[in-house]
Amino acid sequence: MNPLLITLLIPILGATFIQLLPRDKPKIIHRSALIFSVTAFLISLVLLFGFKTNIEQYQYYAYYPWISDLNAGFRIGIDGLSLMLVLLTTFIIPLAIWISSDSIKVNIRQYYSLILLLEFSIIGVFISLDLLLFYVFWELILIPMYFIIGIWGGKNKIYATVKFFIYTMVGSLIMIIGIIWLGHYVGTYIIHNSVGFTTSLVEIQRYANQIPINIQNILFWMFAISFLIKVPIFPLHTWLPDAHTEAPTAGSVILAGILLKMGTYGLIRFNLGILPQASLAFAPFIVSLGVVGIIYGGLLAMVQKDMKRLVAYSSVAHMGFIIIGIFSFTVIGMQGAIIQMINHGLSTGMLFIAVGFLYDQRHTRLTEDYGGIARLIPRFSVFFGLAVFASIGLPGLNGFVGEFMALYGTFSSPFLNNHTYAIVASLGVIIAAVYLLVMYKKAFFGKITNPDNNILKDINLKYGIIFVIITFFMFWIGLFPSHFLKFSETTTNKYINNIELIIDK
């Protein structure tokens, strides 16, 4: 059986299985959720080892007929880009599940089922090779996330979850017209010359170059708005700080670590892959928005008193680097963007776990309530510092690689042909250093200002293992990025060649 399909199905099996467990056995529920998610991770490793890095086509391809009437099939497969993101998903989810046992005390069964349902739909998004299937998974994510924030969230959870739901749904409703129109246009005017319809991604990608530019331009925005909301890019970002802050720790980790990448994944797969001419035309605009996001997100992060909110705004800034890397249309820029997706998942995920660790003990996230806690919990402080440094982009850690490559790609991009973007965006790195280091200093160093903090306990074995694993990957990517970059190289080359071919015409 196709290992890709198994990876997809294990979480949903887990979600169903957990519903059958007795309600009053939280430990068993927690452990079985963990076991299912770890199994999904192990099987996704099979995907990694069987993956051939030099093949352009989608691998592990599987097709099952679904709605023959609409030529929509259950088509799945991965290339280098989706492989990286699937692995990121299967890697982060077990960690998110593991840390949940401390903070989730009510409706435990539903909680773990929803997390596994979320994992199922996220993997589905990354491996679908059919636009309708992609859309179904894309929307399916809303349901578990809506409940996770709404039931287990913080004080302002209703406002946050409704805002999240409406923002995403508005974007996806626009995308569904794009999908139908694209399928109708390619099916009717390009493939069949009579009434026809298809949502097969492979087929659409093959003929996409023939779509006239004026239609491409409209389709570009129909897809882009949805993805840009998800990334999120300035000025569509306002749902993110609320949702991140109010979500339970695991929710924030998944939201920042994986869900945001669905936006950038969609931009590469659909906007760049299907509508290259329009992407070129709008690249300067989107890159400018990305740059504005980097600066704006950073400036807002500087004035946040709440640590979780600070990390949330820093996400807006970091996602900006991914955007400019993608729309630089250079191999190095896009490779940087892809590796930055992984980096952001790791470092921001770790920061959220760390803030959640503090919150579980002290029930406050305000920087001013801490101070000098490095003396009380030294080991935790070291790991927190590492996550901060990785997030800033200190050489030797992972953040540096991604940001450097994305900036270099933007700087040297022959298509953008403008150094200003990269120069302004680099200011973002400095701003990031300012807000993260100031927060780190205020909360961890100096005198112990608040006696309440004396109750803080240092990390136990569980958090130790989690932090060590994440830190290990941070150093690995930072020191040997080529170990990771090689998986997505062929895919990136394919996309960039496609764009260069269009320019040559």
Partner 1 sequence: MLFTFLPILSLTAFILIIIIIEAFVKNKDIVYHSTLVALICVGLTVIFNFNKNTDFLPDFISKMLVFGNLPSFFDLLFILSGLLIVYLTKGYLARLYSHLSEFYPLLLTSIFGMMLISHSKNLLVLFIGIEIMSICFYALSGFIRTDIKAIEASIKYFIIGSFATGFLLFGISFIYGATGSLDYQAIFQGVIYNQLTNNLYLLIGVSLLIIGLGFKLAVFPFHQWAPDVYTGAPTIVSGFMSTAGKAAGFIALISFVSRILMNIEYVHSSIQGNLINLQYIIAGIAALTMIIGNITALVQKNFKRMLAYSSIAHAGYMLMGVVAANYAGIKGIAFYLLAYTFMQIGAFVVAASLENDSSTEVSLIHFKGLAKKQPLLAALTSVMMFSLVGLPPFAGFFGKYLLFKSAIEGGFMWLTIVAIIASMISIYYYIRIIIEMYFSKEESAITVVNLNYNKVVLIFCTAAIIILGIFPNVILKLFN
Instruction: Using CB under 8 A, list all residues that contact partner 1.
Output: 66-70, 132, 135-136, 139-140, 142-143, 146-147, 150-151, 157-158, 161-162, 165-166, 169-170, 173-174, 176-177, 180-181, 183-184, 188, 195, 197
Contacts of residue 449, Cβ cutoff 8 Å, sequence gap at least 6: 371, 372
Closest CA to 290 of 340, 235, 211: 235
Nearer to partner 1 by C-beta: 37 or 168? 168
Rounded CA gap, 286 and 279, in Å? Answer: 9
For residues 308 and 249, the answer to whether their CB atoms sit within 8 Å is no
Where does 247-330 have alpha helices with state H?
249-254, 260-266, 273-274, 276-302, 307-326
Q: Minimum distance between the CB of residue 166 and partner 1, rounded to whole angstroms? A: 6
Q: Minimum distance between the CB of residue 81 and partner 1, rounded to whole angstroms? A: 24
Nearer to partner 1 by C-beta: 158 or 213? 158
Q: Minimum distance between the CB of residue 101 and partner 1, rounded to whole angstroms? A: 22
Q: Minimum distance between the CB of residue 147 and partner 1, rounded to whole angstroms? A: 7
For residues 421 and 291, the answer to whether their CB atoms sit within 8 Å is yes
Angle between helices 420-444 and 307-326 (to 10 degrees): 160
Nearer to partner 1 by C-beta: 266 or 333? 266
Q: Minimum distance between the CB of residue 134 and partner 1, rounded to whole angstroms? A: 11
Nearer to partner 1 by C-beta: 48 or 166? 166
Q: Minimum distance between the CB of residue 231 and partner 1, rounded to whole angstroms? A: 20
Nearer to partner 1 by C-beta: 80 or 171? 171
Q: Counting every residue, how long is the chain?
A: 505
Q: Minimum distance between the CB of residue 130 and partner 1, rounded to whole angstroms? A: 13
Nearer to partner 1 by C-beta: 112 or 421? 112
Q: Minimum distance between the CB of residue 140 and partner 1, rounded to whole angstroms? A: 6
CA distances from 98 to 33, 87, 158, 199, 420 (A): 9, 17, 25, 38, 44
Nearer to partner 1 by C-beta: 35 or 136? 136
Strands 59-67 and 72-78: antiparallel
SS3 66: strand
Closest CA to 122 of 168, 163, 88, 77: 88
Nearer to partner 1 by C-beta: 142 or 292? 142
On the 0-12 / 13-18 / 19+ scale of CB atoms within 10 A, 23 is exposed
Nearer to partner 1 by C-beta: 157 or 318? 157
CA distances from 223 to 174, 217, 324, 405, 494 (A): 7, 10, 18, 26, 21
To 10 degrees, the CA torsion angle through 465, 466, 469, 473? -160
Rounded CA gap, 136 and 224, in Å? Answer: 17
Sequential DSSP letters for 462-504: HHHHHHHHHHHHHHHHHH-THHHHHHHHHHHHHHHHHHHHHHH
Q: Minimum distance between the CB of residue 136 and partner 1, rounded to whole angstroms? A: 4
